[in-house]
Amino acid sequence: MPNISYSDIKRIVEREFPKLEFSEIETLLKMYQSESEKGKYRVYASILKLSDGNIESVKRYVEKANIDYRDVIALSEYPNYLDNAFENDLPAEKKKQLIIDDWTQYEAWLNRI
């Protein structure tokens, strides 16, 4: 599970969006209603990853997170697992590898400068 801080969010926003939009993106992210201060940054990161630099997508994923934040996290952190793991004949070792592969791609995205 990623440990995301406010400084990570700021860095990601500055990387993924033009700097002049930071306050607008931050305002949109704050529309996500979270019960956990720490957990909200993980959801923010998922929203930003899924939005792929598109401000309209930020709005859509914030709405989706307000319905069920787990959907946004799953799409962001475990995309390959979601696409493949529920096949009945998929071996446990393959499922484990999907999780490892997903974490590798998520971590690369998160730490990209």
Q: What pLDDT was estimated at residue 86? A: 78
- CA distance readout (Å), 69 to 8, 26, 36, 97: 19, 17, 12, 24
Between 85 and 57, residue with greater pLDDT: 57
**Going by C-beta distance under 8 Å and a sequence separation of 6 or more, which residues neighbour residue 32?**
40, 43, 44, 47, 62, 65, 66, 69
pLDDT in tens, 69-113: 999 999 999 999 988 877 778 888 988 999 999 999 999 999 998
Instruction: Record the pTM.
Output: 0.90
Polymer length of the chain: 113
Instruction: Identify the DSSP state of 35.
Output: S
CA angle 92, 86, 105 (to 5 degrees): 75
**Going by C-beta distance under 8 Å and a sequence separation of 6 or more, which residues neighbour residue 64?**
71, 72
